[in-house]
Amino acid sequence: MITRIHTRRATQTAATAIIVALGLSACGSDGSTTKTPNSGGGSTVTLNASGSSFQKNLEETAAKAFNAKNPKTEIAYAGGGSAKGKTDLAAKLVDFAGTDSPVKDADKGNFKGDLLYFPIAAAPIAVTYKLAGVDKLQLSAETIAGIFQAKITTWNDAAIKADNAGVNLPSTKITIVHRSDGSGTTSNFTKFLVAAAPSWKLDKGDTVNWPANSVGAEKNTGVANSVSQTEGAIGYVDFADAKKAGMQMAAIKNKASEWSVPSLDGAAAALKNVAVKDDLTFAAADASGAGVYPITAPTWVLVYAKQTDKAKGTALKAYLNYLLTEGQTLAPTVNYAALPAELAAKAIKQLDKLQIG
């Protein structure tokens, strides 16, 4: 009896406490102040960044090399996805963000100032497969759209045969493997299909409505793993990971009607022919021209045009300059295609727009 009374009283008290706490927290949210970090003159400057996991490898490689030359500047690139990078930059939690896609118009209001895009590299996305006895596979955009919409369900389908004259294709069932996490790779892969295959109906995006019974896997490595384990599987994997995993990659038909296997040269060729807008954003999917690998994903560094912190602004400018010059020679060593000279020059010129202080 006694314990029961106690419990009831405690519950009442607790309920009151919750109400009070909620009231307090509601009031508190208005009066919060943001602390501005202070920067010491000659001390070490750390540039914090988050965003695109696709460019993380390049950022880390470049940051290390940059730090070796400029020991006073450290760059901490945290990854986490393009969306996280944009959100963090909008909240001024980071000094720059990595992103695989421009900011949507609807989200522009979240940012506290004008933004600058700096393209830093591009890389091919490979269509990988596992099929015994088939070492060379050619796929047109229409066929890929048919496969990834489950309209083509076996490997000996007439559409695949038409792309691969003379190849003996088995009747194995096709298993579609896609990213289960929201991903810039999915976004760029579907952008290609939207651009190149009229029959593609799933639109583009970080996650799309994949057909029933397709398999979702985590990250590029998850898709690579899943495809290599499943006979008859097909998936799309970032070139660096596909290469590392030693996977079979299909040659894709480009606009010049050539069969193009994923390569850094193919990605670089794609960037040469894109229509670059004034803010240096562009769409690289299904670019025209000879030697182009059509599923090419560009990536940008996103910064505020006005840098209020002098030390950080100066360091950021120096790092961006490094990324666009010497950093470009590092890109191929970690499986990214360097920017074409013309585009790099435009980006270097844009550094002048970065206002410091």
Partner 1 sequence: MQSIPEVRQLTGNGTRNWGDRAFRSVALACGLAVFVILGLIAFTSTNKAWPAFSHEGLGFVTTNRWVPNENHFGALALIYGTAMSAVLALLLSVPVSFGIALFVTEFASPKVAKLVTSLIDLLAAVPSVVYGLWATLALAPNVQGLYKALHSATASIPVLNSLFGGQSQGYSLMTASIVLAIMITPIITSLSREALATVPESDKAGALALGATQWEAIRVAVFPKARGGLTAAVLLGLGRAMGETIAVAMVIGSSAQITLHIFSPAATMAGTVASQWGEASGIHQAALVGLGVVLFIFTIAINSSARFIVARSDRKLAS
| Nearest residue (CB) to partner 1, 84 versus 312 | 84
**171 touches partner 1 (CB under 8 A):** no
Instruction: Answer whether 266's CB lies under 8 Å from 124's CB.
Output: yes
CB of 137 to partner 1, least distance (A): 22
Please spell the DSSP secondary structure of 236-269, one letter per residue.
EEEHHHHHHTT-EE-EEE-TTS-EE---HHHHHH
| Nearest residue (CB) to partner 1, 81 versus 313 | 81
Longest dimension (CA), the chain: 87
Task: Give the range of 58-66, 135-143, 218-226, 335-343 binding partner 1 by CB under 8 A.
Answer: 218-226
Site for partner 1 in 11-30 (CB under 8 A): 13-15, 17-18, 21-22, 25
The whole-angstrom separation of Cα 163 and Cα 336 is: 28
**119 touches partner 1 (CB under 8 A):** no
Task: Work out the burial of residue 38: count CB atoms within 10 Å of its CB; fewer than 13 is exposed, 13-18 middle, 19 or more buried.
Answer: exposed
Candidate list 44, 209, 288, 329; residue touching partner 1; CB under 8 A: 209
CB of 81 to partner 1, least distance (A): 3
CB of 221 to partner 1, least distance (A): 10
Backbone angles phi, psi at 320, to 5 degrees: -60, -40
Candidate list 89, 137, 144, 208; residue touching partner 1; CB under 8 A: 208
DSSP reduced 3-state for 233: strand
CA Rg value for the chain = 25
CB of 138 to partner 1, least distance (A): 26
- Binding residues for partner 1, rule CB under 8 A, total 47
**74 touches partner 1 (CB under 8 A):** no
- Altogether, the residues listed in the chain come to a count of 357
What is the Cβ-side half-sphere exposure of residue 167, based on CA atoms within 13 angstroms?
Answer: 23
- Residue numbers at the binding site for partner 1 (CB under 8 A): 10, 13-15, 17-18, 21-22, 25, 53, 80-84, 86-87, 106-107, 173, 175, 180-184, 190, 203-210, 212-218, 222, 225-226, 229-230
